[in-house]
């Protein structure tokens, strides 16, 4: 059996900073996507786009 590590994080996004936040997220995912055993990233935004929940495993 293989151990799976996962984490969930919540981010507050300041008004007017959504595009900057998404660019940062894209950079983070790109830099870690090829790490061994990285399975998935999922990002969820609330209706107002001021809170993001991230799930990585």
Nearest alpha carbon to residue 11 among 38, 43, 56: 43
Among 11, 10, 3, CA closest to 39: 3
User: Is the pLDDT at 25 greater than 80, yes or no?
Assistant: yes
Mean pLDDT of 31-48: 86
pTM to 2 decimal places: 0.76
pLDDT at 23 over 90: yes
Distance of CA 24 to the CA centre of its chain: 9
Phi, psi of 31 (to 5 degrees): -75, -20
Extract the runs of DSSP E, i.e. beta strands, from the chain. 7-12, 41-45, 51-56
């Amino acid at each position: 059996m293989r151990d799976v590590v996962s984490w969930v994080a919540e981010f507050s996004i300041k008004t007017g900073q959504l595009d900057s936040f998404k660019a940062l997220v894209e950079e983070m995912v790109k830099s870690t996507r090829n790490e061994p055993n990285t399975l998935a990233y999922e990002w969820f935004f609330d209706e107002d786009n001021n809170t993001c929940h991230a799930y990585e495993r």
